[in-house]
Structure 1
Amino acid sequence: MNGTRVTGRYAIPKWEISGFVEYIGSGQKQGDMLLPVPEGAYAVRLGNEASIQQKLGLTRGMHYSITFSAARTCAQSEVLNVTVSPESGDLPIQTVYTSSGWDSYSWAFKAKHSVVTLIVHNVGVSDDAACGPLIDSFAIKTLQLPQRTKGNMLKNGGFEEGPYIFPNTSWGVLVPPRDEDDYSPLSPWAVLSSTKSVKCIDSAHYSVPGGARAVELLSGMETALVQEVSTVPGRSYRLEFSVGDAGDGCAGSLAVQAYASRGSVKVPYQSQGTGGHKRGVLEFTATEKRTRVVFVSMAYTMKTDGTLCGPVIDDASLVTVRTHRRLFL
């Protein structure tokens, strides 16, 4: 160590570092700024072009989700690149969704080898080499490929399969946007946006309409939650879903707009911020062999602490509407 800077490449057990990496204690200050640590006594800060990596033994061909916590410090536009060769993706952390300054992020991939290297790299360059995101609390989870259940054409309609959520944190896990062809922690749902995320929440810390998990749409019309399903052109379908609030103080006029084929419906929900939900229904006729089911929050909403929040979506189902014809003789 040289002050807070880690000078040994293998000085942090099980990890290998490169570049300007600091070992930050809880409550440490940088000028007038307090550097918080979400769990335990220490976290790592990645300065200019710094990275931290660890080898993982996995099952080839399986899908996995990485969860870790990160906080922005003195740089305004911070981006972390996560790589498990040959896959890689950028996680923008400009927007902070908690009053503590910490958010947990998830990133999914398919293991191409039995031994892989997880690399987290700060791609930003600041005038101050010490400026960069704090990272802490890593976990990895095997993801099961969701299957269709009887009576529902959507997979993972209740969002029960998703990223690892740390049991002793109360801020959920962000699922950042990725290309549609990439594997999502909420697969087969894709998060479409330029820089904004959705939040996977659990019933242990939030109000959830059904089951153990749901998704909170945090970023208004900047983010869409999308799943593509096989349909028969000319056939009628009914989409049903729950809209509510997470019981986290997100009060006000919330609304979710659902789209499928040429149909759409807006489901308003007046939230008191204490939990609750209502059902929305959209009936439509398919025009293509593949139909996108899309959910979008229609407004930006903030809690009293100034952090973004939004409506909760859960228990989505898609079924064929049977039409009955009578033959008159």
Structure 2
Amino acid sequence: MIWFQRIFLLLLVSWVASSDLLENPDFESPPKNSNASSGPFVLLDQNTTLPGWTLQGTVQYVTSLELPDNGHAIQLGEDGKINQTFIAKGGDVNYILTFALIRPGQNCSTSAGLSVSGPDSNAVFSYQQNYSKVSWQSYSHNLGSWGNDEPINLVLESQAIDSDSDTNSTCWPIIDTLLIKTVGVTLVQDSGNLLINGGFESGPGFLPNSTDGVLIDAVPSLIQSALRQWSVIGTVRYIDSKHFHVPEGKAAIEIMSHTAPSGIQTATKDTSEGSRYNLTFTLGDANDACIGHFVVGVQAGSAAQNFTLDSNGTGSGEKFGLVFEADKDAVQISFTSYSVTMTKEDVLCGPVIDEVIVHHLGGTASVKPTWLLLIIALLYVAVL
């Protein structure tokens, strides 16, 4: 029965995953009233129109063979801004944005940031660490949820990280290939698991030409996170089974640590105070040449334990477990990586977490007598 419900969950997630809702999301429709083919960087002025987008400030049209989608992108200068309004399709869904952020110039001491905003959300992204083998990285941001036919204004603008940010024009953010995925606000809970989205099947969409997964920066709120029902500490990477080793299903989480620990956190549903539960999960590597000694701290309520795995970077996986006692109805569950690991190409990597399951040690989370058990109990009383 559990396998049927898992398949149903996968079908539900794929059903609500929409095609892109934006016009000209990859900037392949060139700007009008501008000679877009005159060079790798073409400044767009107030007379220029970019199909689907409204322009403001310093905006340049970029042409390069190293870009992720057919070689065209947009650079937002010191005061650059683009925005587009799309219409919500269907109610009770979250709109999760994935986009490509291009590596800045080689002489940039500090990368300027990209501010991404929706009506109820805002986050700033920057290309400061190397998580990719190519010259660009995919990032994600949860724009929020709205009712059917509501207008949603997506705003992308440059933002200086600090007062000492490099003013070199090549250091301002370059963006390409935006994708919006819709995911149901209410997710189906897997039978026998007191966690929602314990297999990480509900998260941001993967860009068509991406082979490096999708980065999710720190998000303290479960509601605002692009990884549904999980908050994020530091930076993690959402990986797919097409390009990585994923222990179960179509997606998993790779925890990326750098100067500080990174990880994910959620909470159980319907636990009973004083009852004992078992937390199981798979710890492995993504088959991305990440070789090292992984140390992952796992906490469930007041119970905490470190788990280790020696990775050879070729797609290993091992199941672990932790028994804990619930001290309230909702117990915090967290996974934190303390390992700073890089590939030979100096690409940050780390341990993979998947198949996180919490169940009551007596069986299901709420043990209810079945008709068969009730009949047996009545017969036993009658015999006595």
On whether the aligned pair clears a TM of 0.5, the verdict is yes
> What aligned pairs does 1:1-329 form with structure 2 within 5 A after superposition?
1=34, 4-8=42-46, 11-27=49-65, 36-59=66-89, 60-74=91-105, 75=108, 76-112=110-146, 114-124=150-160, 126-144=166-184, 145-180=186-221, 182-193=223-234, 197-219=235-257, 221-230=260-269, 231-322=271-362
Shift of 1:200: 0.5
Stretches of structure 2 lacking an aligned partner (at least 5 in a row): 1-33, 36-40, 364-384
Q: Deviations over 1:48-71 (max 9, x none)?
A: 121111111113542110110002
Contact 1:69 1:138 in 2 (8 A): yes
Please state which structure has a larger fraction of its residues in strand. 1
Matched letter for residue 285 of structure 2: D
Contact 2:217 / 2:232 at 8 angstroms: preserved in 1? Answer: yes
Q: TM-score, normalised by structure 2?
A: 0.77
Opposite residue 279 of structure 1, the aligned amino acid is K
Aligned-partner Cα distance in 1 for 2:350–2:194 = 26
The aligned counterpart of 1:31 is none
Q: Could you tell which deviates more after superposition, 205-214 or 118-127?
A: 118-127
Q: Is the 8 A contact 1:78 1:94 kept in 2?
A: no
Q: Counterparts of 2:275 and 2:239 in 1: how far apart (Å)?
A: 34
What is the aligned residue count? 312
| CA deviation after TM superposition for structure 1 residue 261, in Å | 1.1
Query: Does structure 1 retain, via aligned residues, the 8 Å contact 2:285–2:315?
Result: yes
Which residues of structure 1 form unaligned runs of 5+?
28-35, 324-329
Shift of 1:253: 1.1
RMSD: 1.9
Q: TM-score, normalised by structure 1?
A: 0.89
One-letter code aligned to 1:138 = L
Q: Say whether the 8 Å CA contact 2:120–2:143 is kept in structure 1.
A: no
Deviation at 1:10, TM superposition (A): 5.1
Can you list the C-alpha shifts for 1:28-84, whole angstroms capped at 9, x where unaligned? xxxxxxxx3122121111111211111111135421101100023144133221111
Partner amino acid for 1:211?
A: G
- Matched-pair contact (CA < 8 Å) for 1:80–1:93: no
Alpha-carbon distance in 2 for matches of 1:235, 1:72: 50
Secondary structure of the corresponding residue to residue 22 of structure 1: strand
Q: Counterpart of 2:24?
A: none
- Matches of 1:86 and 1:209, distance apart in 2: 35
Tell me what 2:29 maps to.
Answer: none
2:193 aligned partner, one-letter code: N
Distance 2:82 2:73 in 1: 12
Q: Percent identity?
A: 30
**Greater gyration radius:** 2
Amino acid at match of 1:102: W
- Residue 319 of structure 1 and its aligned partner are, at CA, apart by 0.6
